[in-house]
Amino acid sequence: MKNVLDYIDRLNCSVGVYYKELETQYMFEYNSDKIFPSASTIKVPILLALFNKVLKGEIDLNKRIKIQKDYTVSGAGIVYLLDENNTYTLLDLAKLMIVLSDNTATNIIIDLLGFEYINKYFKEIGLNETILQRKMMDFDRKRLGFDNFTSARDLGLTFYKLCKKEVLNPYYCNLAIEILKEQKLKGGLDRYLGNKYEIAHKTGELNNLEHDCGIVFKDHKTFIVVILTEGEENYILKDVIGNITSKLIKGSDLNEK
């Protein structure tokens, strides 16, 4: 992947990349163990932690939850804009957490599962550099030095295990992938691929930080792509993600390895 390395070498930002072709097992990594603030990408392993509880019979996805207005937080999502008399199933909240990256829905799930359980589950599935230390939009805790972190390798492993059904069971792995396919926040992995590709992914964004990670499907091929970026204006970083993704996947199609 010389063309990818040449492109990265010209950048003025930090980049972490994990790429794997499932059919051939070909891998490409660049700074894949570098730890970044996770932003909303951490919502993917949180989703798996939730489904693990469901699989154990400890939580019911059909349970309905009412959210008090003073509990809601702004930022990504829509729940904070809706009628406080609404009720949501836990599955609704899981979908909102991923599809619209809803911060209120995420915080409800974090409260339900607990930090200790979530971080323990991360370790159980092999995520050694991923940690949840604050809820979404909790900037007071962030100022105290507590943030959420991950690496490209950890997120790559998460999606690889989803694809190979090495976590949960086939039903919940497929459910997670179908929810991720509905992602509405775009402009990263999908930026230059075109409509021949189907993507199940999750974005993450903070000031001067953009991430996108997921599974790219085309015909009989499946690709795990994780690109974490930091240190430039966000519109520049989204373009970096799009360019690297295109070079990796279209390069694979042309056997440019």
Residue 256 has pLDDT above 80, yes or no: no
Q: Which two tokens stand for residue 214?
A: 């997921």
- What CATH topology corresponds to 2-253? Beta-lactamase (3.40.710)
On whether the CB atoms of residues 224 and 160 are closer than 8 A, the answer is yes
Structure-derived torsion over alpha carbons of residues 33, 37, 39, 45, reported in degrees to the nearest 10: 40
C-alpha closest to that of 230 among 46, 103, 100, 41: 41
Strand partners, 193: none
Averaged pLDDT for residues 210-218 = 96
Averaged pLDDT for residues 65-90 = 89
Averaged pLDDT for residues 103-132 = 97
Mean of the per-residue pLDDT values for the chain?
93
Averaged pLDDT for residues 183-211 = 93
